[in-house]
Amino acid sequence: MALILPVEGKSPRFGKNCFLAPNATVVGDVEMGDDCSIWFNAVVRGDVNSIYIGNKVNIQDGVVIHATYQKTTVHIGNNVSIGHNAIVHGCSIEDRVLIGMGAIIMDNAVIGTNSIIAAGAVVLEGTRVESGSIYGGIPAKKIKNIPPDLVAGQIERIANHYCIYAGWFKESNAVPTP
């Protein structure tokens, strides 16, 4: 069963139909919406400040989500996929966003709606990622606008597929939903 711990009197809160892998860790002031999944070895650490996660968000294997004590919080919108081993720290991610594998999003960055952050990109502190665009590189810069078919073909498809994948584990009763 996932490690779920209170910190300083604040316990994680979960919406309906969420999946947590057996070795996922969720602690402190974390609020999660419906149809979310936190995968193997992911850590959502709401110990030093709050973390809000919307509906249909998948936090893939090895992801770390954290904030800065008394300075930044994390806000993640709806239909967001955060790829394997990404780091999301003290930032805001709006709706329908794909964060690529190994990407790093730093404090006070804002990732606009319908955007993709390429694998391995580093979004520096305070960066504002334009809605409807792809950013990549170190530091991350705008590569191009996203055509509408890519929003449905990538961002929405991945979010929907992770709901299916979570169902495979729930159906096998491998991990109870919190």
Check whether 174 has a pLDDT greater than 50: no
Please tell me which residue, 147 or 31, carries the higher pLDDT value: 31
Q: Looking at residues 2-11, what average pLDDT do you find?
A: 96
- Helix then strand count (H, E) for the chain reads 2, 19
pLDDT tens-digit series, residues 155-173 = 999 999 999 999 998 765 4
Q: Looking at residues 12-26, what average pLDDT do you find?
A: 96
Report all structural domains of the chain as residue ranges with CATH numbers, in order of start.
Answer: 3-171 (2.160.10.10)
CA-based nearest residue to 66, from 115, 14, 13, 29: 29
The count of other CB atoms within 10 Å of the CB of residue 18 is: 21
Please state, in angstroms and rounded to a whole number, the distance separating the CA atoms of residues 63 and 23. 12
Check whether 149 has a pLDDT greater than 90: no
Q: Looking at residues 83-99, what average pLDDT do you find?
A: 98
